[in-house]
A and B are shown apart, each in its own frame.
Chain A
Amino acid sequence: MKLPVHTSPYGVLPNNVTRVMGEVLLALVPGIIALVYYFGWGVLINISIAVTTALAAEAGVLHLRHRPVRPALSDLSATVTAVLLAIALPPLTPWWMTMLGVLFAIVMVKHLYGGLGYNPFNPAMAAYVLLLVSFPVAMTQWLPPEMLNAHPLSFAQTLTAIFGGGLPDHLTWDTITSATPLDAMREQLKMNKTISEIAQNPMWGNFGARGWEWVGNWFLIGGLFLLWRKVITWHIPFAMIAGLLLASGLFWLFDPESMPFPGFHLFSGGMILGAFFIATDPVTASTTPKGRIIYGFLIGVTVFIIRTWGGYPDAVAFAVLLMNMAAPTIDYYTQPRVFGARDKDNA
């Protein structure tokens, strides 16, 4: 009698990559719905362009690398990258820009380093930064949130804007787009306005920018879902938020008129999305428990530094990429104590 020989453990393994990535996508849904509600159909169109491009690019590259295509596509990792990039882009980003970003993320950042698991940089964030430095104007042309938007575009109008670059006759780009709240805050602080003056602007809501704060809340719900499902651990998001609040809080205490309130930092940009969905990308983050805390905390502090003194209004992408570089070193110095480690091993 000949029996099959396999290695232990035996059984139906409880977990798989597709499930993990699928749960990440699921967790993004509330935030995405909120984005669509506040910023229009462009968000969904961007996502569709990005996902289609990502799947095609992934299949193409795997084919060229003579790797099996189907398992890699079904692991949903390319889809996650595409969605994360798409929701970071302004709602009316030209279609080719989105495609370019996704191609860069999948082909250069992911596959040139060896594919899933081997890329040192977060592909979505690397692509975002590439687009930001290449097309600074287009990348900062956001739409105002729904309640402040005097000229909401219909689905067809949005399609035309994204694919043809054209707007309805009575509108110009300048009339329909506005700076992001972070950008606006920055510009006005530069003009030596005080925070109380700036806060008069209708764009500020209860604890962050109007519209944005609610998007942040919905992403937070998704993030908590990921925590509950144990897809991520608390270390990175909490440390990152703590880093940002601590740094911004300290400066705000000393100078509340020229330093925005910490809550503003938390709820006006990509912070919540970044903390729960981007910095937690396991491939490029630190992997030890202590390391994750350090990694997250440093991202939070870096975000504050770049937002306050750097050249770009939002900084989550830059901060994440910077810490991606530091992750291997952080891991090396934060190895957990081995069971039964003797004192000399601990030293």
Chain B
Amino acid sequence: MITQNPGSWDFHGGIHRPDCKSMSAGKFLGKVPLPETLVLPLQQHIGAMAEPVVKVGEQVFKGQTIARVSEYIGAPIHAPTSGTIAAIEEHPVPHPSGLSAPCILLQVDGKDEWGELPEPLPYFDDMDPSLLRERIRWAGIVGLGGAAFPTSVKVNHGPDRPIQTLVINGAECEPYITCDDLLMREQADRVVEGIKVLLYVVDAEECLIGIEDNKPEAIAAMRKAVAESGLKDVQVIQVPTRYPMGGEKQLIKVLTGKEVPSNGIPSEIGVICINVATAAAVTDAVMAGRPLLSRLVTVTGEGVNSSGNLEVPFGVYMSHVIAHAGGYSDKAYKLILGGPMMGFTLGDDQLPVTKGSNCLLAASREEAPAPDKAHPCIRCGKCMDACPAQLLPQQLYWYARARDFDKTQEYHLFDCIECGCCSWVCPSHIPLVQYYRFAKTETWALEKEKRQAEDARRRHEARVERLERLERERKARLRQKKDALEKKTAANGANPRKAAVEAAMKRVAEKKARQSEAEKSSGESS
């Protein structure tokens, strides 16, 4: 059944804030030239870390797989250009913790020489979808909207979950970010081509493309591309501009009216949601046999001299990218990876761009001042009114602060999508999301501990059990032996040979007695 009136639903809460997109919207600043070294983290996605399949000193070519995954949830890493593997070691990576993680360092040779690539699959609709999934997996495609969840896993919904609607996320609701906007404006055909492939792979009945109404050029370009593609049951839907419209659950709700179940995933309700840039990457993988090697990154904020979007190969330092956006301005104060609502500040800019890096926001002090001191919660409920997950953020905060992690779960902590709306509207300026992240981490740690304790207990019980069993077995063996012995003794009592001997002896004795009696009587008689 095709969705009726797509886009006519609403989600609770959310916020309006100036979108600040005009600084970078529609501006393409070109492709960032290759630096001398690329730093490629082995973990650029959700799931298992990739394992290197190259050695230090090895020559690699553009597009060559340099790290693969053996786990189901994961994505391989490819060499974005040709060169030599310089090192495989820990290196600082873009992560809120500011920690280092294993990376492959590639010494760029400047030749940009392609390695061997798999066949393009232009007639994909004759193929088994599983082969296309395999191709998507090979290409290392992950969600490019920022979440970086492996796409091959997403499109493998399984036969018991038929997909009705493929939702294409072009909402791009975070302020400042315009890379998806640019992609839709300039490469709408590439996106639509990817949609064609995805529709075939997931066997969906329809496709709804959601774009916020602050991107009229993108909407027009996509509508044109869809019309020209001749695809039926694909609609571009203009959705209102309200953060977090681009949240997967929110967009699905607005487009289809369906709610992704709490703690659930969209395929449970027959929906799969894919970002526009991800769809374009699918096109490259299937139609050109090319893996994911680069992405569009928005560089913006009052802290850079020229805002815009750049195509950046993975592994390029952010400092290098900023330099190609005219460098920092005098106003640069902090560097945010991602948007101002859900991104995080980087303590340093000598960090590589990875698959999930959609935006580098060099913010001025006016744009992103240091946080105020928090006031006490006055329980005004503003946070609750703004929460798109329909939670009670004030209660969650209260219990997270009290470290009552059972209660935070009762108040559905894990339905929090960390969108930051609650923090945004809080008059007391409480960094609420920070408390929820903390509570989540603590809960995971506690659960891990509990699991470990449980494992330890089980191990202990198993050991006790084993010792007891050994003891029982030892005793049983002893008993067996003793029994056997006893039986032997008892049996010995009934031994025919012995009995025969005894009987014989008895007979001999009787005979002797009779003889002597006879002798006596004969002696008497004689």
* Residues in A lying within 8 Å of B, measured CB to CB: 1-17, 19-20, 68, 71, 75, 77, 115-118, 233, 282-283, 285, 287-289, 331, 335-342, 345
Taken together as a complex, chains A and B put the C-alpha atoms of A342 and B264 apart, in Å, by 10
Q: DSSP majority for the A interface?
A: loop
Taken together as a complex, chains A and B put the C-alpha atoms of A5 and B368 apart, in Å, by 11
Taken together as a complex, chains A and B put the C-alpha atoms of A8 and B368 apart, in Å, by 10
Q: Which residues of A contact B338 (CB under 8 A)?
A: 8
Given contacts A338-B390, A340-B415, contact A4 B379 (CB under 8 A): no
Binary contact readout B312-355 vs A (1 if CB under 8 angstroms, 0 otherwise): 00000001000000000000011110101111111111100000
Q: Which residues of B contact A77 (CB under 8 A)?
A: 378
A339 and B262: CB pair below 8 A? yes
Taken together as a complex, chains A and B put the C-alpha atoms of A51 and B387 apart, in Å, by 36
Q: Which residues of A contact B377 (CB under 8 A)?
A: 117
| Chain A residue at minimal CB-CB distance from B411 | A335
A20 and B368: CB pair below 8 A? no
Q: Which residues of A contact B361 (CB under 8 A)?
A: 10
A4 and B334: CB pair below 8 A? yes
Min CB–CB distance B302 → chain A (angstroms):
12
| Chain B residue at minimal CB-CB distance from A1 | B349
Given contacts A14-B17, A339-B389, A340-B262, contact A283 B424 (CB under 8 A): no
B345 and A6: CB pair below 8 A? yes
Taken together as a complex, chains A and B put the C-alpha atoms of A334 and B517 apart, in Å, by 116
A11 and B340: CB pair below 8 A? yes
A16 and B392: CB pair below 8 A? no
B380 and A340: CB pair below 8 A? no
Q: Which residues of A contact B412 (CB under 8 A)?
A: 338
A117 and B344: CB pair below 8 A? no
11 residue pairs bridging A and B, Cβ less than 8 Å apart: A1-B350, A3-B346, A7-B344, A10-B340, A11-B17, A16-B375, A20-B427, A117-B377, A282-B378, A339-B249, A340-B259
Taken together as a complex, chains A and B put the C-alpha atoms of A290 and B39 apart, in Å, by 53
Taken together as a complex, chains A and B put the C-alpha atoms of A345 and B385 apart, in Å, by 21
Q: Which segment, of B64-72, B118-126, B196-204, B428-436, faces chain A?
A: B428-436
B260 and A282: CB pair below 8 A? no
Q: Which residues of B contact A19 (CB under 8 A)?
A: 427
Given contacts A288-B384, A340-B262, A342-B261, contact A8 B340 (CB under 8 A): yes
| Chain B residue at minimal CB-CB distance from A332 | B395
The 8 closest A-B pairs by CB, nearest first: A117-B376, A10-B368, A9-B420, A282-B380, A10-B340, A340-B259, A15-B427, A340-B262
| Centre residue among A4, A11, A233, A288 by max chain B CB count within 10 A | A11
Min CB–CB distance A121 → chain B (angstroms):
13
Given contacts A20-B427, A288-B384, contact A9 B376 (CB under 8 A): no
Taken together as a complex, chains A and B put the C-alpha atoms of A26 and B449 apart, in Å, by 53
Asked if B251 is at the interface of the complex by the 8 Å CB criterion, the answer is: no
Taken together as a complex, chains A and B put the C-alpha atoms of A75 and B372 apart, in Å, by 13
Q: Which residues of A contact B373 (CB under 8 A)?
A: 68, 71
Taken together as a complex, chains A and B put the C-alpha atoms of A12 and B371 apart, in Å, by 9
B345 and A287: CB pair below 8 A? no
Asked if B94 is at the interface of the complex by the 8 Å CB criterion, the answer is: no
Taken together as a complex, chains A and B put the C-alpha atoms of A8 and B388 apart, in Å, by 17
Asked if B242 is at the interface of the complex by the 8 Å CB criterion, the answer is: no
A11 and B262: CB pair below 8 A? no
| Centre residue among B349, B370, B375, B425 by max chain A CB count within 10 A | B375
Taken together as a complex, chains A and B put the C-alpha atoms of A11 and B369 apart, in Å, by 6
Asked if B279 is at the interface of the complex by the 8 Å CB criterion, the answer is: no
A339 and B381: CB pair below 8 A? no
Taken together as a complex, chains A and B put the C-alpha atoms of A20 and B381 apart, in Å, by 13
| Centre residue among A10, A77, A340 by max chain B CB count within 10 A | A10
Taken together as a complex, chains A and B put the C-alpha atoms of A15 and B425 apart, in Å, by 6
Q: Which residues of B contact A116 (CB under 8 A)?
A: 375-376, 378
Q: Which residues of A contact B424 (CB under 8 A)?
A: 9, 11, 13-14
Taken together as a complex, chains A and B put the C-alpha atoms of A318 and B261 apart, in Å, by 43
Taken together as a complex, chains A and B put the C-alpha atoms of A71 and B375 apart, in Å, by 8
Asked if B12 is at the interface of the complex by the 8 Å CB criterion, the answer is: yes
Q: A11-B175, A14-B424 are in contact. List 20 more A-B contacts (CB 8 A).
A: A1-B348, A2-B347, A5-B345, A6-B334, A6-B370, A7-B431, A10-B367, A15-B425, A16-B427, A20-B380, A115-B376, A116-B376, A233-B381, A233-B385, A282-B379, A338-B262, A338-B390, A338-B412, A339-B262, A345-B262
